[in-house]
Chain A
Amino acid sequence: MQRSRLLIALLLCVALVGLQAPAAAFASCLVTPAPSPTPQPTYHGNVLGTQSAHLLAYWPLAEASGSTAADISGSGRNGTYSGATLNATTFLDGNPAPSFDGINDYVDVYSTSFAAAFNGAEGSALAWQKVSSSSVYTDGTARRSFSFAASAANRVLAGRPTTDNTIIGFYAAGGVNKQVSLGSFTDTNWVQVVVTWSHSADQMKFYEDGAQVGTTMTGLGTWAGSLDPIRNVIGANTTNGDQGWPGYIANVAVWDTILTSGEISALYSVPTVVPTETPVPTCTLTPTNTPTPTPTWTPTNTPTPTLTPTNTPTADLYTYITVIPPGGTVSDSHPAALVYQATAGQILIALLLSALLLLALFEKMLRARGRK
């Protein structure tokens, strides 16, 4: 009876450990890597490849967790999330995108590095924005999807004004305000907005979904001041969260030169992410020895049929169970093997269960001695 109980316990241990093991780990043996897939264009790559020498910062906002909004331009001008809900939806390329509550959520992108690089006289700012509902366009509140500002008199932003069903691109320099509006706007899908400004060419333009909106504004003022630490945010007007954007924002980028209409149109096109294939393990049986052919016997006088060796190679398979520690790998020189890759937790559980089993056996032995 005791023996059967112990046997049942042992079977339970094996079953519990086995249930937790990844199914693929029991599948096979040597992994034959699949050919590397052809690199597919990505939206991130397209942005990074546009006027790359003038790209000051690029925040995809594609994080699934954490508080840092990475700048993937290579300049390290990371932002900090405040209150945004990460991975709330997906952008057009399938990457995560955050939502903003329009109350106090924003991404603070100010840094001394960004402030030093930002050019209030020449530049472009791009963002993708989406409202949480059509009512955002009719709530009578001015809202910002992004704002980069030295002061209220020197700033560039995109968003909506208090006028219903309208989005805007806005540029102010030296207190001279230039605004381009797009009315009758009710789009609740992802919308690309771009503001370009050039003091040297005396022009400010606003683009929506890859095409210029309205007319080119001229008579620009002269930018004054460095970026204000509280006025450089995505999703609101300042770090107080005022004029917040209730909805989603993704792929915000800033250049210190004006993008051409062709470049902006190209950045309106979003490639869909193609899932990369993972290598499928294949079993390879490796013969470990080759049989030697049987010698033929040929009589000297009479031709006789010669014995032809079959010479059929037989694979001498080495099969064993190898427990690979966490982080270990299976060498390609291993012959066919069953490999179980255990996590640290699974090894710990296995050791604990083994210890319990040994204790139970020991207890049984003691009891048996006690009866004697």
Chain B
Amino acid sequence: MRKQFLALVLALSLLPHLVFAQTSAAWCGYALIQGIPGIGSYLQILSLIAPDASGQADPDQRFQSRLSLDGNQAIVEACWKVFPTRSVIVNLLALGGLDNQIADGLLEYSLFAPDGSHEDSAASVRAYLALHRDEWEPPCSDPVC
């Protein structure tokens, strides 16, 4: 009886902390989506596995995307609630209206620093963009740029 009572008291004291505990993300980082023309119109569905504003997630945790200049490639980023494997992305794109077989057949998908931190992933993206500047940055020629 005594042990049960003490256990209950301890549990009740921890209750506020449990109630307000933040849900942790599976992984925070960036992914590269290629091979699907007009990918931009299918991307928003990926936000289903990312925190949203209603959950009071900060801006750097929520789903973001960036398109290449031709609109056929995308870099997506979030603190993903589910690890964004290729099959997860294919299934989500199918949910978003893209034919599943087409998505699975065409999708070229890679993660930036999947074993690293959010900043590791960002650094990997910046290095990638520096090598593919012509595909991702508006044309620019000094002295006026």
Count of chain B residues near A, Cβ 8 A: 38
CA separation between A293 and B132, bound complex, in Å?
Answer: 97
Known contacts A102-B126, A177-B144; A12 and B138 CB within 8 A of each other: no
A237 proximity list for chain B (CB < 8 A): 138
Q: Which of A83, A142, A237, A352 has the most CB of B within 10 A?
A: A83
Which of B30, B58, B138 neighbours the largest number of chain A CB atoms within 10 Å of its CB?
B58
Q: Is there an interface contact between B138 and A243, defined as CB atoms closer than 8 Å?
A: yes
Contact with A along B42-59 (1 / 0, CB 8 A): 000000000001001011
Given contacts A12-B6, A140-B130, contact A353 B66 (CB under 8 A): no
Q: Which chain A residue lies CB-closest to B140?
A: A142
State whether the Cβ of A60 lies closer than 8 Å to any Cβ in chain B: no
Q: With A and B bound together, what is the CA distance between A13 and B12 in angstroms?
A: 11
**Can you name the residue of chain A whose Cβ is closest to the Cβ of B122?**
A101
With A161-B145, A352-B12, A353-B12 known as contacts, the answer to whether A141 contacts B129 (CB < 8 A) is yes
With contacts A9-B5, A104-B77 taken as known, whether A243 is within 8 angstroms of B64 at the C-beta atoms is no
Give 19 A-B pairs besides A82-B59, A103-B77 with Cβ atoms closer than 8 angstroms: A5-B1, A9-B9, A13-B9, A67-B53, A82-B64, A86-B60, A103-B30, A103-B75, A103-B125, A139-B130, A162-B142, A163-B142, A179-B143, A240-B67, A242-B136, A345-B16, A349-B13, A353-B12, A360-B5
State the Cβ distance, A168 to closest chain B Cβ, in Å: 8
Q: B58 touching A246 by the CB < 8 A rule?
A: no
Q: How far is the CB of B98 from chain A (nearest CB, A)?
A: 21
Asked if B65 CB lies within 8 Å of chain A CBs, one says yes
What are 28 A-to-B residue pairs whose CB atoms are below 8 Å? A9-B5, A9-B6, A9-B9, A67-B53, A83-B60, A86-B59, A101-B122, A103-B30, A103-B75, A103-B122, A103-B126, A105-B59, A140-B130, A141-B133, A142-B138, A161-B142, A162-B141, A162-B142, A179-B145, A240-B66, A240-B67, A242-B136, A242-B138, A243-B140, A246-B126, A345-B16, A356-B8, A356-B9
With a cutoff of 8 Å between Cβ atoms, the chain A residues found around residue B126 in the complex are: 101-103, 139, 246
With contact pairs A67-B59, A104-B66, A240-B67 given, residues A349 and B12 touching in the complex (Cβ less than 8 Å): yes
Task: Say whether B140 contacts A65, CB under 8 Å.
Answer: no
B residues bordering A, Cβ < 8 Å? 1-2, 5-6, 8-9, 12-13, 15-16, 30, 53, 56, 58-60, 62, 64-67, 75, 77, 122, 125-126, 129-130, 133, 136-138, 140-145
The contact string, 1 if C-beta is below 8 Å from chain B, for chain A 241-256, is: 1110010000000000
Min CB–CB distance A260 → chain B (angstroms)? 27
- Distance, CA A151 to CA B97, complexed state (A): 33
How far, in angstroms, from A16 to B15 measured CA to CA in the complex?
A: 13
The residues of B that contact A181 with a CB separation of less than 8 Å are 143
Question: B12 to A242, Cβ gap below 8 A?
Answer: no
Number of A-B contacts (CB under 8 A): 108
Going nearest first, the 5 A-B pairs with the smallest beta carbon separation are A104-B66, A81-B59, A85-B60, A161-B145, A142-B140
- Determine the chain A residues whose CB is within 8 A of the CB of B133 once the complex forms: 140-141
Closest chain B residue to A168, Cβ basis? B145
Q: Residues of A with Cβ closer than 8 Å to B?
A: 5, 9, 12-13, 16, 20, 65-67, 81-86, 101-105, 139-142, 161-163, 168, 170, 177, 179, 181, 237, 240-243, 246, 345, 349, 352-353, 356, 360
Contact of A16 among B13, B65, B66, B136 (CB under 8 A): B13
- B129 adjacent to A142 (CB under 8 Å): no
Which residues from B are CB-within-8-Å of A168? 145
Q: How far apart sit A229 and B2, CA to CA, in the bound complex (Å)?
A: 66
A243 neighbours in B (Cβ, 8 Å): 137-138, 140
